[in-house]
Protein backbone atom coordinates (compact mmCIF):
# COMPACT_ATOMS: atom_id res chain seq x y z
CA UNK A 1 0.00 0.00 0.00
CA UNK A 2 1.36 3.35 -1.01
CA UNK A 3 1.71 5.91 1.77
CA UNK A 4 0.53 9.48 1.16
CA UNK A 5 3.29 11.89 0.31
CA UNK A 6 4.16 14.33 3.05
CA UNK A 7 4.15 17.97 2.13
CA UNK A 8 7.51 19.60 2.42
CA UNK A 9 7.56 22.82 4.39
CA UNK A 10 8.07 25.88 2.25
CA UNK A 11 11.43 27.47 3.09
CA UNK A 12 11.00 30.86 4.73
CA UNK A 13 13.12 32.49 2.06
CA UNK A 14 10.50 31.63 -0.58
CA UNK A 15 7.72 33.68 1.03
CA UNK A 16 8.14 37.35 0.19
CA UNK A 17 5.35 39.37 1.83
CA UNK A 18 4.20 42.46 0.04
CA UNK A 19 5.62 45.40 2.01
CA UNK A 20 2.45 47.37 1.24
CA UNK A 21 0.09 44.62 2.41
CA UNK A 22 -2.41 45.39 5.15
CA UNK A 23 -3.86 42.50 7.14
CA UNK A 24 -7.31 42.55 8.72
CA UNK A 25 -7.79 41.65 12.37
CA UNK A 26 -9.03 38.17 11.46
CA UNK A 27 -5.90 37.49 9.43
CA UNK A 28 -3.65 38.93 12.15
CA UNK A 29 -5.31 36.60 14.69
CA UNK A 30 -4.56 33.62 12.42
CA UNK A 31 -0.97 34.66 11.71
CA UNK A 32 -0.01 35.50 15.30
CA UNK A 33 -2.19 33.12 17.31
CA UNK A 34 -3.20 36.00 19.57
CA UNK A 35 -6.84 36.66 20.48
CA UNK A 36 -8.37 39.76 18.88
CA UNK A 37 -9.00 41.54 22.23
CA UNK A 38 -5.31 41.10 23.15
CA UNK A 39 -4.18 42.57 19.82
CA UNK A 40 -6.50 45.54 20.23
CA UNK A 41 -5.31 45.99 23.83
CA UNK A 42 -1.67 46.11 22.68
CA UNK A 43 -2.69 48.69 20.09
CA UNK A 44 -4.54 50.76 22.70
CA UNK A 45 -1.49 50.62 25.00
CA UNK A 46 0.71 51.88 22.16
CA UNK A 47 2.84 48.74 21.92
CA UNK A 48 1.96 48.15 18.29
CA UNK A 49 1.05 50.66 15.61
CA UNK A 50 -1.70 49.82 13.12
CA UNK A 51 -1.34 50.35 9.39
CA UNK A 52 -1.37 54.04 8.46
CA UNK A 53 -4.76 55.67 8.90
CA UNK A 54 -6.42 52.57 10.35
CA UNK A 55 -6.17 53.15 14.11
CA UNK A 56 -8.72 51.10 16.02
CA UNK A 57 -9.57 48.98 12.99
CA UNK A 58 -7.18 46.14 13.88
CA UNK A 59 -5.45 46.37 10.51
CA UNK A 60 -1.68 45.90 10.52
CA UNK A 61 1.17 45.81 8.04
CA UNK A 62 4.21 43.49 8.15
CA UNK A 63 5.94 45.66 10.73
CA UNK A 64 2.89 45.39 12.99
CA UNK A 65 2.86 41.61 12.61
CA UNK A 66 6.55 41.44 13.49
CA UNK A 67 5.95 43.59 16.55
CA UNK A 68 3.02 41.46 17.72
CA UNK A 69 5.09 38.28 17.36
CA UNK A 70 7.96 39.91 19.24
CA UNK A 71 5.59 41.03 22.03
CA UNK A 72 4.16 37.55 22.38
CA UNK A 73 7.63 35.98 22.45
CA UNK A 74 8.82 38.39 25.15
CA UNK A 75 5.64 37.99 27.16
CA UNK A 76 5.54 34.19 27.10
CA UNK A 77 9.26 33.41 27.38
CA UNK A 78 10.29 36.20 29.74
CA UNK A 79 6.97 36.96 31.47
CA UNK A 80 7.28 40.68 30.74
CA UNK A 81 4.70 43.15 31.96
CA UNK A 82 3.35 45.96 29.79
CA UNK A 83 5.96 48.33 31.24
CA UNK A 84 8.75 45.84 30.51
CA UNK A 85 7.45 45.31 26.99
CA UNK A 86 7.26 49.06 26.37
CA UNK A 87 10.86 49.55 27.56
CA UNK A 88 12.22 46.55 25.65
CA UNK A 89 10.45 47.43 22.41
CA UNK A 90 11.78 50.99 22.66
CA UNK A 91 15.32 49.71 23.14
CA UNK A 92 15.00 47.27 20.24
CA UNK A 93 13.71 50.05 17.97
CA UNK A 94 16.66 52.23 18.96
CA UNK A 95 19.06 49.36 18.27
CA UNK A 96 17.56 48.84 14.80
CA UNK A 97 17.81 52.58 14.10
CA UNK A 98 21.49 52.64 15.13
CA UNK A 99 22.26 49.58 12.99
CA UNK A 100 20.63 51.23 9.98
CA UNK A 101 22.67 54.38 10.62
CA UNK A 102 25.90 52.38 10.75
CA UNK A 103 25.01 50.54 7.54
CA UNK A 104 24.33 53.84 5.76
CA UNK A 105 27.80 55.11 6.70
CA UNK A 106 29.57 52.20 5.01
For 47-90, give the DSSP string.
SSPPSTT-TTTT-B-HHHHHHHHHHHHHHHHH---HHHHHHHHH
Number of domains the chain contains: 1
CATH code assigned at 80: 1.10.1660.10
Q: Is residue 62 part of a domain?
A: yes
The model carries a pTM of: 0.76
Q: Is residue 9 part of a domain?
A: no
Q: Is residue 92 part of a domain?
A: yes
Bridge partners for 32 per DSSP: none
- Whether the CB-CB separation of 91 and 49 falls below 8 Å is answered with no
Q: Is residue 32 part of a domain?
A: yes
Q: Is residue 13 part of a domain?
A: no
> Which pLDDT tens digit goes with each residue over 28-82?
999 999 999 999 999 999 999 998 776 667 789 999 999 999 999 999 999 999 9
Q: Is residue 47 part of a domain?
A: yes
Q: Is residue 7 part of a domain?
A: no
> Which pLDDT tens digit goes with each residue over 29-44?
999 999 999 999 999 9
Q: Is residue 6 part of a domain?
A: no
Residue-range definition of the domain harbouring residue 57: 25-105
Amino acid sequence: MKQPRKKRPVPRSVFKPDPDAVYTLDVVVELTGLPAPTILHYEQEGLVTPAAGLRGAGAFNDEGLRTLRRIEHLRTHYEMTLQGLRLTLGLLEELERLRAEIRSRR
